Amino acid sequence: MSSRVRLVLACVATLAVIAPLGWFWQASLLPEEYSVMDMGYVDFGGGPRPGGLADGVAGHAGMHAGGTSIAGLVADPDRRPDVRVDLRAEKGTFKLASGREVDGYTLNGQSPGPVIRAEEGDLVEVRLENVSVPDGVTLHWHGVDVPNAMDGVAGVTQEAVRRGESFTYRFLADRVGTYWYHSHQLSHEQVQQGLLGGLVVSPREGVPADVDVPALVHLYDGARTINGQEGDVPVRALPGQTVRVRVVNTDNGPMPVWVTGSSYRLRAIDGTDVHQPAPVTGEAVLVTAGGRADLEIVMPQDGSGARVEAGGAALVLGGAKHTESPAPTEFVDPLSYGSPRPAGFDPAESTRSFEYVIGRRPGFLDGRPGLWWTVNGHMFPDVPMFTVAQGDVVRMRIENESGDVHPMHLHGHHALVLSRDGVEATGSPWWVDSLDVQDGESYEVAFVADNPGVWMDHCHNLPHAAEGLVAHFMYAGYHTPYSIGGNGGNRPE
């Protein structure tokens, strides 16, 4: 072969490699501004094409044609609020209770922001003011099934609130339980750096405990804290008193929580009471990122107190003398914990059944080469748009073959866990809004589509969401007028 032929061959070979790479790179670039409704492809979950969608290609054009704007999906505008809160968001340095200085974000000068307390049935009104957060800010009510326009997702359910602007959230606190709120604008940065707080909804007749302690666990700049305090956090409790500890995992990974010096009951998961929870000893609860676990401890009569260990910080109840015990290797399994009772709907009567298979492969995400997450084999933004009609009974199989754990979070709904790895749930109905799916695991869940709008369904390891582990549920006949990017600078992840 002459050297010229060899050179030509080499060029052709190089081009053969580079040209498709270039094409993939180019194809992965996200537009400056886009609607989540234009993302990916429509998935009807094997169910009928819902009414309200135009005929023709199963594309998004039909969805945009008319329909109701989600902007109108709000709580009763005429009702006077029962709980009113003002939250001022700022960027800057602040001090943890321990004195450590942290760079990040505060609400009313503190992080975590104030715990908002409401009673079942209250209308809660929160006015968020962005004093000095340059990228804009929102508040998402994690675990509360709010009307869609109150969901706080920048570019999906509202515009990010720019500096000097404000936004008022109104929703009905119609389910008792432990919840939290956090920014859903640049959330992987803003949440980690402190834009979050707790929300507790109590029964009208009061919480069935003598002492009620919200425990927001958060890692600030390497410091593990409970309610912003590092190390041992004292809680007053007398012998014989019942203490309800509301653990909120605001971090990105699963967190073991356990009790030294007493047995405990796992009273609630993600805000829903467990039916007939048995006492637990020698086992930890693994709290999903974004998830909540309410632990009930009866203080020992001998005055020896108890410790609740949560990811490196601890609540010291009743002046406990105990020292930290090593983490149990066994965990409470909610699949079989508590006793069964009717869940209120029949998952066997499902209208649609979706797959959410999480994988990982090399490729380009918005022009960046890397190993990226996939949903059903597709990389963001080419992910499924799970499409439902109001009233559908929806099943979903979540499978993880990606090599990492993912705390999957569905907005606006609570899902009932039916099975894990083919093993059926036998305990109390296990309702989740945040569910850890370990590598190699699969779950079947079901829910009733009773809250119209466009809802995120994403990984709550927030950097994973920013790496594209995001899909949406949408109700046929609705559309969102908001968009990602553009002048609004909306960046929900």
Angstrom distance (rounded) from CA 113 to CA 312: 21
434 CB contacts (<8 Å, ≥6 apart)?
Answer: 142, 143, 270, 288, 289, 290, 291, 407, 408, 409, 460
Q: Which does 458 bind (CB under 5 to 8 A by kind): Cu ion, ligand C2O, none?
A: ligand C2O
For ligand C2O, give the closer residue by CB, 50 or 384.
Answer: 384
Angstrom distance (rounded) from CA 447 to CA 285: 24
For ligand C2O, give the closer residue by CB, 262 or 288.
Answer: 288
Q: From the CB of 143, what's the least distance to ligand C2O, in Å?
A: 8
For ligand C2O, give the closer residue by CB, 179 or 220.
Answer: 179
SS3 assignment, position 465: helix
For ligand C2O, give the closer residue by CB, 265 or 411.
Answer: 411
Q: From the CB of 457, what's the least distance to ligand C2O, in Å?
A: 9
For the chain, the straight-line distance linking the first and the last C-alpha, in angstroms and rounded, comes to 55
Positions that interact with ligand C2O (CB under 6 A): 140, 142, 182, 184, 290, 409, 411, 456, 458, 460
Q: From the CB of 269, what's the least distance to ligand C2O, in Å?
A: 16
Pair 199, 141: CB distance under 8 Å: yes
For residue 226, the Cα-to-chain-centroid distance in whole angstroms is 19
Report the number of secondary-structure helices (H) and strands (E) in the chain. Answer: 4, 39
Positions that interact with Cu ion (CB under 5 A): 406, 459, 461, 464, 469
Q: Which does 456 bind (CB under 5 to 8 A by kind): Cu ion, ligand C2O, none?
A: ligand C2O
Q: From the CB of 411, what's the least distance to ligand C2O, in Å?
A: 6
Q: Which does 464 bind (CB under 5 to 8 A by kind): ligand C2O, Cu ion, none?
A: Cu ion
For Cu ion, give the closer residue by CB, 100 or 397.
Answer: 397
Beta strands in 336-392 (DSSP E): 352-365, 368-375, 378-379, 384-388
Q: Which does 140 bind (CB under 5 to 8 A by kind): ligand C2O, Cu ion, none?
A: ligand C2O
Query: Which two structure tokens, joined as six digits, stand for 72?
Result: 């109108």
Q: Which does 461 bind (CB under 5 to 8 A by kind): ligand C2O, Cu ion, none?
A: Cu ion
For ligand C2O, give the closer residue by CB, 90 or 433.
Answer: 433
Q: Which does 142 bind (CB under 5 to 8 A by kind): ligand C2O, Cu ion, none?
A: ligand C2O
For ligand C2O, give the closer residue by CB, 62 or 152.
Answer: 152
Q: Which does 411 bind (CB under 5 to 8 A by kind): Cu ion, ligand C2O, none?
A: ligand C2O
Residue among 104, 91, 92, 90 at smallest CA distance from 221: 104
Residue among 282, 279, 255 at smallest CA distance from 405: 255
How are beta strands 454-459 and 470-475 bridged, if at all?
antiparallel
Please identify the residue of the shown chain whose CB is closest to the bound ligand C2O: 142
Q: Which does 460 bind (CB under 5 to 8 A by kind): Cu ion, ligand C2O, none?
A: ligand C2O
SS3 assignment, position 20: helix
For ligand C2O, give the closer residue by CB, 199 or 211.
Answer: 199
Q: From the CB of 371, what's the least distance to Cu ion, in Å?
A: 13
Dihedral sign for Cα atoms in the order 10, 13, 17, 20: positive
What's at 100, amino acid-wise?
R
